């Protein structure tokens, strides 16, 4: 076999493993949720439908496709524990953002899975026999997603009055749109469809070192921002987890949320 032929054979085998090991081969129905995970065939059809839209509209389009999906209660994340790229039958807030952006940036199901290897990791995800071998190099902290620049340009400062709060993990401070600013009448006019929202924990309430405690995606309808997010609770020793992907008024969510404020990124 020539060197060129061998190279092509290796590439073909890698693509086959990426397709068979990381993409859901058939719909998965979760009882009582009303949600069916999309098959690879459906993903391809929906990508052809959505791809003419602007990038923000595409991101929101895919986020809405996961409404009613059961919440991933695994503390580590089903996708990390199984070392797969695609686990669409249940999602947590980070996976929902991952998947919506990856699907929006690709033309095929396989392309979205490959895009994940660039986006989710500090380096690049590596596949061996259909499984990711270096999930330890993933963005485990959402604030590192923002800092990487791969998850859109941060637009927090341009959306309203910001405040600085103490950071962690070597960050002296964190600039956020505070909760009171989000609730000020007329303050949300700068949000756009497809914006990624990172909800920042009050330093006094932080669990461990993480600054960002939740993620979601904005959809603007009739000049009103809606939040699409995986709302739920992870299973712990004392509590069984549960929840699902929801779409709700951003203002109503902000009014009741425990977070001190938000950071926002945008793809343009």
pLDDT in tens, 122-131: 999 999 999 9
Residues 6+ apart with CB under 8 A from 220: 191, 192, 193, 226
**Residue 218 CA from chain centroid, whole number:** 12
- Residue carrying structure tokens 């779409």: 247
- Give the per-residue pLDDT at 44: 97
All structural domains of the chain with their residue ranges: 3-24+33-142, 149-266
Residue from 225, 205, 229, 63 nearest 160 by CA: 225
SS3 192: coil
Distance CA 149, CA 259 (A): 23
The CATH architecture of the domain made up of 149-266 is Roll (2.30)
Q: Which residue ranges in the chain fall short of pLDDT 50?
A: 1-21, 23-31
User: Could you check whether 3-24+33-142 and 149-266 share the same CATH topology?
Assistant: no
Distance CA 54, CA 20 (A): 30
Q: Compute, in degrees rounded to 10, the torsion defined by CA atoms 81, 72, 111, 116.
A: -60
| Domain 3-24+33-142, classified CATH 1.20.58.1000, yes or no | no
């Amino acid at each position: 076999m020539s060197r060129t032929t061998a190279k092509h054979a290796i590439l073909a085998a890698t693509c086959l493993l990426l397709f068979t090991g990381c993409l859901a081969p058939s719909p998965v129905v979760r009882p009582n949720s009303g949600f069916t995970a999309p098959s690879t065939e459906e993903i391809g059809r929906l990508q052809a439908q959505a791809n003419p839209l602007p990038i923000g509209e595409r991101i929101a389009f895919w986020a809405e496709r996961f409404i009613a999906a059961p919440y991933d209660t695994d503390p580590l994340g089903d996708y990390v524990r199984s070392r797969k790229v695609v686990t669409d039958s249940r999602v947590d807030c980070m996976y929902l953002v991952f998947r919506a952006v990856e699907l929006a940036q690709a033309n095929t199901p396989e392309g979205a899975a490959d895009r994940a290897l660039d986006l989710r990791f500090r380096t690049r995800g590596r596949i061996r026999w259909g499984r990711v071998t270096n999930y330890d190099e993933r963005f485990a902290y959402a604030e590192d997603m923002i800092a990487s620049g791969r998850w859109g340009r941060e637009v927090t400062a341009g959306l309203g009055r910001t405040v600085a709060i103490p950071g962690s993990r070597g960050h002296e401070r964190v600039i956020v749109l505070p909760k009171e600013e989000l609730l000020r009448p007329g303050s949300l006019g700068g949000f756009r469809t497809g914006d990624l929202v990172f909800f920042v924990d009050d330093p006094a309430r932080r669990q461990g070192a993480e600054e960002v405690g939740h993620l979601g995606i904005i959809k603007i309808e009739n000049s009103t921002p809606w939040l699409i997010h995986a709302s739920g609770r992870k299973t712990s020793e004392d509590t069984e987890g549960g929840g699902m992907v929801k779409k709700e008024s951003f203002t109503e969510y902000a009014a009741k949320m425990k977070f001190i404020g938000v950071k926002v990124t945008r793809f343009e």
